[in-house]
Amino acid sequence: MSNGTLSKREVDFFFNDGYLIVPDLWKPDEPELLRAEMHAFIGGVVEELARDGKLTNRHADADFDHQLARIQADSADNGRAIIRALEGVAGGGYTGQQMFELLRHPKLLAAIESLVGPEIVASSVYRIRPKVPGKTLGVVPWHQDSGYFEAHCDQHLIITCWVPLVDANARNGCLKILPRVHRRGVFEHRTGGNAGFLIIREEDLPADAPEPIIAECPRGGVVLMTNLTPHCSTPNNTDIVRWSVDLRYQSAEAPNNVGLWPAIEEEASAELLMACYPPEADFVIQSRKHPERVCDYETFVNRRNHYDAVKKKHYPIRHWKPVAM
């Protein structure tokens, strides 16, 4: 294990293949603080459901990897309520201290710096991904993250960091990645994929693409991808929840909404619409030029909550057609 800085070989692999698996970025027990914090958060949601008479068996003896699965097995509605609390209604959701500590982990930022330079913007477009056994909700079809972003950001590098909070493998639903096609731009996406996700149909993927990579990654590792790298998420055929977190980073030179606090009741400004994903807040996570601009935890929570409260959110419109067409 190193300080997180990627080697030249790793950097070259990332830009050539569109992804990189770093299996030992940190010690396997380092994500335990985030796991424990999220488990406590779930316990609070469970108590609310119990008080409302919606849940009788809390499965309090179950660990983090099993409790949500057992509650979901008892009641799909209660399982969805817990997942909604974690994910938020429109992408907000969980803002625990340990989530922020993961976002600014020195080894993770060192890896990102190897790819975009030292001036780094993080996005609150992060996602908590609890893939419950036997459920299709967390099965994500083929897509590129740029399919969800504003088109003027297609030429900018926005790094997705997929961080498993369990050992992720083919059985419990790790990622599949289509390598070496990220330089061909954004493929045709369709709306109406599983669970409302965008989807690239098989016939819209390049016929000459290499075989997909099964991106198995242990806890303590990370999968790095470009915003143009096609990937999907496979079913969970085990008895544990396949917990993971998506984090996103970009150079400070890429379009962003750092410093903007949109009006709650008004239409989005032209300045705000220059961000790659205007509905959610960007923030400086590392800067050697302007260290005073680096976001602290309180500001992180305030920005995320403020953007969640905005009434007239502007979501990128790519004019994708429905999947049935």
Residue identified by tokens 């997909």 is 212
How far apart (Å, rounded) are the C-alpha atoms in residues 308 and 84? 14
User: Domain 8-28+91-322 falls in which CATH fold?
Assistant: Jelly Rolls (2.60.120)
Q: Domain spans of the chain?
A: 8-28+91-322, 33-87
Burial annotation 120-151 (CB, 10 A radius, 16+ → b, else e): bbbbbbbbbbbbbbebebbbbbbbbbbbbbbe
**Tokens found for residue 102:** 């993961």
Give 217's strand partners: 168
Is there a contact between 243 and 164 (Cβ–Cβ < 8 Å)? Answer: yes
pLDDT 10s digit of each residue in the chain, 325 long? 578 999 999 999 999 999 999 999 988 788 899 999 999 999 999 999 999 999 999 999 999 999 999 999 999 999 999 998 888 755 557 889 999 999 999 999 999 999 999 999 998 676 788 999 987 777 899 999 999 999 999 999 999 999 999 999 999 999 999 999 999 999 999 999 988 899 999 999 999 999 999 999 999 999 999 999 999 999 999 999 999 999 999 999 999 999 999 999 999 999 999 999 999 999 999 999 999 999 999 999 999 889 988 999 999 989 999 998 6
**pTM recorded for the entire structure:** 0.95
